Amino acid sequence: MSSKRKITVAYGDGIGPEIMKATLGILEAAGAAIETDVIEIGEQVYLKGISSGIEPTAWDSLRESKVFLKSPITTPQGGGFKSLNVTTRKTLGLYANVRPCKAFSPYIHTHFPETDMVIIRENEEDLYAGIEHRQTDDVYQCLKLISRPGSEKIIRYAFEYAKKYNRKKVTCMTKDNIMKLADGLFHKVFNEVAKEYPDIEADHKIIDIGTALIADKPEMFDVIVTLNLYGDIISDVAAQITGSVGLGGSSNVGEDVAMFEAIHGSAPDIAGKDIANPSGLLNGAIMMLVHIGQPEVAEKISNAWMKTLEDGIHTGDIYQEGVSSKLVGTQEFAQAVIERLGQKPENMTPAEFKKGDGADDNMGAIKLTERKPCKKELIGLDVFIDWKENDRDANVIGDKLRAVDADGLKMQLITNRGVKVYPDGMKETFCSDHWRVRFFNADQTVISHGQILEILKQVEALGFDFIKIENLYTFDGERGFSLAQGE
Ligand code: NAD
């Protein structure tokens, strides 16, 4: 039996084939024990009419190898093509996106030479669930879904990562001063999990100031764990300030499968010219080697790569007059790395990977806390209505809906874009055509689904177009919905 580990490889689009050739050449020269299975993804597949951008048979290879080294692809504009990255992450349950962002100063120009952080981004939930609706002429909705298991999984992964790689601090970033329930859940789970790791400092920052600090004092961060959208944004900020968007690799880790790639795109503007920097994909491949239990090969390549940077052998994107000694193309850069295999950087800290690093020892498989289901009680209803008559006068819609009554379930207030406009609204509040009408029993006791159906019947009979409803629940007596501004 071959002792080589099978990996699935996709050459991708644009500069993808060039940087993959360079990367695999280095891996082979370094003695990586891998056997590649090449699959088709990207533009050619999209243009065959497969909207996911991946051949259906390619999933079999991924299921078998469980490791995917992927070059960037070009997503054709328009035409309903789905992002292959989002599809792959969700289909294979790759819940953790791990992006190390490190400065390689003075060889790569940066204002922040001390930067050395790892961003761990939740990969499956949040606004990326892709559930969007247009509800009225004025209003579009995109649902933000945050789950407790999803949050716990990524937060535990971040602490396990910190423990394994000897990192000292994990910072959580959310916007829970505004999204008290959704982001509040993530922060709450972070606090719960942090208690189990007393040797690791736990910190929380609101995402706006957190992003500003990444851009100004990146050295204060070590591991950052955050929600999908915030993670998407801050990882580009962090990569940019290290001066190395073209150098960064990333991994997408699930319980079963992991995908490794460069953080940049397919760079069609420089494709086919042999000038692209292969370092981003190479760094992704280094993470892959650690993951599949070949840390000594990863270490050898990483050190040779740093030595190449130190020797000033640079591709055009990082070439600096006075720092660089030779301008090289993609394959010549790879050759320079190959020639330095076995050497270590002299000024930068050499890489050190231990056996047992990575996820082959099951780091992606996180055990979640068992919880008893809560006692869930239905105590109210929000009915959303599309209405644009009478100059959108809240008093007109409010006075009409006052008549609705289903066994004591009655309207208590109306909001427009979250602000209370009836009763006692302010005339200055701008109203869209999207109204939320909130119903409770007078004493906020439990209501029935029958009462809800009766409310909808009466709302319709009054001539209103209801566009959706949300049930209002308590969980073990705790309110499971936000209050309106002014409620
Ligand atoms: P890009 O990252 O491809 O390019 C941005 C700029 O950086 C360009 O000027 C490019 O020449 C340069 N650049 C990127 N990688 C480089 C490298 N290795 N060496 C030297 N220079 C490099 O971003 P874009 O132009 O916004 O996107 C191009 C295509 O890539 C789009 O179709 C986009 O959808 C796709 N994309 C794919 C992925 C992926 O597959 N993971 C990620 C991002 C973008």
Round the CA-based radius of gyration of the chain to a whole number and report it. 27
CA-proximal residue: ligand 1, atom 38 (nearest): 265
pLDDT value at 84 more than 90:
no
Distance (Å) from CA 168 to ligand 1 centroid: 33
pLDDT value at 354 more than 90:
no
* In the chain, % of residues over pLDDT 90: 80
Nearest to 452 by CA among 469, 428, 465, 467: 469
Residue 91 pLDDT grade (very low, low, confident, very high; cuts 50, 70, 90): confident
Distance CA 85, CA 15 (A): 17
Which atom from ligand 1 is nearest to the alpha carbon of 276?
Answer: 19
Distance CA 210, CA 204 (A): 9
The tokens 């004025």 sit on which residue? 138
Flag the least confident range among 184-198, 213-227, 228-242. Answer: 228-242
Contact 438, 415 (CB under 8 A): yes
* Helices and strands, number each (H, E), in the chain: 13, 21
Q: Say what the pLDDT of residue 364 is.
A: 64
Distance CA 226, CA 230 (A): 7
Would you state the CATH architecture of domain 376-479?
Answer: 2-Layer Sandwich (3.30)
CA-proximal residue: ligand 1, atom 8 (nearest): 267
Distance CA 292, CA 186 (A): 30
| Helix-strand-coil split of the chain, %, nearest 5 | 35, 25, 45
Cα 218 to its chain centre, rounded Å, is 20
Distance (Å) from CA 262 to ligand 1 centroid: 10
Q: Is the CB of 345 under 6 A from ligand 1?
A: no
pLDDT in tens, 134-177: 999 999 999 999 999 999 999 999 999 999 889 999 999 999 99
Return all residues near 94 (Cβ < 8 A) that are at least 6 apart.
88, 123, 124, 252, 253, 254, 257, 258, 259
Q: Say what the pLDDT of residue 355 is.
A: 65
pLDDT value at 352 more than 60:
yes
Rounded to two decimals, the pTM is 0.91
Contact 329, 274 (CB under 8 A): yes
Q: Is the CB of 415 under 6 A from ligand 1?
A: no
Which atom from ligand 1 is nearest to the alpha carbon of 19?
Answer: 18
Beta-carbon count within 10 A of 125 CB: 23
Contact 49, 55 (CB under 8 A): no
Distance CA 43, CA 53 (A): 7
User: Average pLDDT of 365-394?
Assistant: 93
CA-proximal residue: ligand 1, atom 25 (nearest): 267
Distance (Å) from CA 19 to ligand 1 centroid: 12
Beta-carbon count within 10 A of 359 CB: 25
5-361 and 376-479 in the same fold: no
Distance CA 396, CA 408 (A): 22
Residue 362 pLDDT grade (very low, low, confident, very high; cuts 50, 70, 90): low
CA-proximal residue: ligand 1, atom 26 (nearest): 265
Cα 17 to its chain centre, rounded Å, is 26
Going from N- to C-terminal start, the domains of the chain cover 5-361, 376-479
Q: Which of 69, 266, 333 to mutate to test the pocket of ligand 1 (most atoms within 8 A of CB)?
A: 266
Distance (Å) from CA 265 to ligand 1 centroid: 3
Reading the block at residue 437, the tokens are 């009408």
Mean pLDDT of the chain: 93
CA diameter of the chain? 83
Produce one character per residue of 27-60: b if its CB has 16 or more CB atoms within 10 Å, e if not. bebbebebebbebbbbbebbeeebebbbbeebbe
Query: 14 exposed, middle or buried (CB, 10 Å; 0-12, 13-18, 19+)?
Result: buried
pLDDT in tens, 396-429: 999 999 999 999 999 999 999 999 999 999 988 9
Distance CA 173, CA 218 (A): 14
Distance CA 276, CA 341 (A): 21
CA-proximal residue: ligand 1, atom 32 (nearest): 74
Nearest to 319 by CA among 277, 267, 262: 277
Flag the least confident range among 26-35, 357-366, 436-445. Answer: 357-366
List, in sequence order, every beta strand (DSSP E) within 81-200: 96-102, 116-122, 132-134, 140-142, 169-174
- CATH number, domain 5-361, options 3.40.190.10, 1.20.1050.10, 3.40.718.10, 3.30.160.20: 3.40.718.10
Q: How far is CA 453 from CA 185, 405, 476, in A?
A: 31, 11, 25
